[in-house]
Amino acid sequence: MDEFDFINKVKPDRIFQQNVKVAIGDDAAIYESSHGFHQVVCVDTMVEGVHFLRNLSSPFEIGYKALAVNVSDLAAMSAIPLYYFISLAVPSNWNEDDLIEIYEGMKKLSEEYKMDLLGGDTVSTSDKLVITVTVIGEVEEGRKTLRSNAKNEDIVFVTGTIGDSAAGLAILLGQTSIHNESLKRYFTEKHKMPIPQVKAGRLIGDLKRASLNDISDGLASELNEISEASHVGITIDKDALPLSDELLTLQSTSLLQDWALYGGEDYELVGTTSPDSWEKLTKDCNELGIKITKIGFVDSSHKEVMLKSKNQEYIKLKKSGYNHFKKS
């Protein structure tokens, strides 16, 4: 594979953002930042055999998800996605057609948000495929949805439904058997091609104050991060967890709870805001058809994350979920 010929094949044929002054073609890209905005930058790496399995996902799906997980981080910062960079470390068993499909997967998502590909790097490696994506967005000065923003008596909320991605992974790995093909497609697509909650993140950023996390490592882990950063306790109601009708058809209560609390990779948003702001947020979300659910409250009388069951029993939720070096 010729590197320069490959670059020409994946080079975008148009630019979405007028702030781009120099795109792909020089040693570096140049873009002009917007007045009154802060730049938001994040990076994520996906490693074959750790974050995806080649026999279970197409190159297109792998590329789509590699960009989606980064855009989800921007959503948690209430940022507008603008640009992205791709770095690939490619072993010899991946060919040019595979790599072009990876770029096509990213292109599908980038077109939805009008993100411009501004460059990257491609190198060879002797082992597994490694994809590193860097995304850049912008957020208005003064708009911050930091983990440290939670306050006593805040409402704790989550967008969408949780646990579907973990169910999809269990199906792909053969750990759960589902004979209904429609249900199987629903769960596996939730895992392979998550939808970043950018619109919800922007609405939440409109509030006077809010904390946010995207659900990548599991609800329990994300809540603990907010709890630790804000120095508050959080209590959530087990019966309030938003589970999809599809997930409820599986009927295994303990498994559903594990998937919802610890499964991760739903890429929904979990956060907190004041009771007054919660009323505005639910109204705004309803108008745009965004599902959002109150699941608990912030309690500064303790510093832990607690799960309340129907019979008023309380269980401490540890900061566990997906970890890149162990599975808990």
User: Known binding site: residues?
Assistant: 27, 44, 51, 73, 103, 120-121, 147, 214, 216-217, 265, 322
CATH of the domain at 33: 3.30.1330.10
- Does residue 92 sit in the same domain as residue 217? no
Please state which of the ranges 78-87, 244-253, 268-277 shows the lowest mean pLDDT. 244-253
CATH of the domain at 228: 3.90.650.10
- Does residue 313 sit in the same domain as residue 204? yes
Place of tokens 């759960």: 176
Residue 322, pLDDT score: 56
User: Known binding site for Mg(2+): residues?
Assistant: 27, 44, 73, 121, 214, 217
Q: How many domains does the chain have?
A: 2
- Does residue 162 sit in the same domain as residue 304? yes
User: Known binding site for ATP: residues?
Assistant: 103, 120-121, 147, 216
| Mean pLDDT on 231-238 | 97
Q: What is the pLDDT of residues 137-159, one digit of tens each?
A: 999 999 999 999 999 999 999 99
| Mean pLDDT on 124-144 | 96
Residue 5, pLDDT score: 76
User: Known binding site for substrate: residues?
Assistant: 51, 265, 322
Nearest-10 Cα torsion for 28, 29, 35, 41: -80
Domain of residue 271, residue span = 147-321
Q: Which two tokens stand for residue 34?
A: 């917007």
- Does residue 184 sit in the same domain as residue 317? yes
- Does residue 217 sit in the same domain as residue 92? no
DSSP per-residue codes, 206-244: TSSSEEEEE-SS-HHHHHHHHHHHHT-EEEEEGGGS---
327, part of any domain: no
Query: Is the sign of the CA dihedral 13, 16, 21, 26 positive or negative?
Result: negative
Q: Mapping DSSP to helix (H, G, I), strand (E, B) and coil, where does residue 40 land?
A: strand
Please state which of the ranges 22-26, 28-32, 129-133, 192-196 shows the lowest mean pLDDT. 22-26
- Does residue 63 sit in the same domain as residue 167? no
Q: What is the pLDDT of residues 26-53, one digit of tens each?
A: 789 899 999 999 999 999 999 999 899 9
Of 298 and 319, more confident:
298
Using CA atoms, how far residue 80 sits from 25, 111, 260, 288, 327, in Å, is: 25, 13, 28, 17, 33
DSSP per-residue codes, 132-172: EEEEEEEEETT----GGG--TTPEEEEES-SSHHHHHHHHH
203, part of any domain: yes
Average pLDDT, the chain: 93
Of 277 and 253, more confident:
277
328, part of any domain: no
**Confidence grade of residue 11 (pLDDT, cut at 50, 70, 90):** confident
- Does residue 127 sit in the same domain as residue 180? no
**Confidence grade of residue 90 (pLDDT, cut at 50, 70, 90):** very high
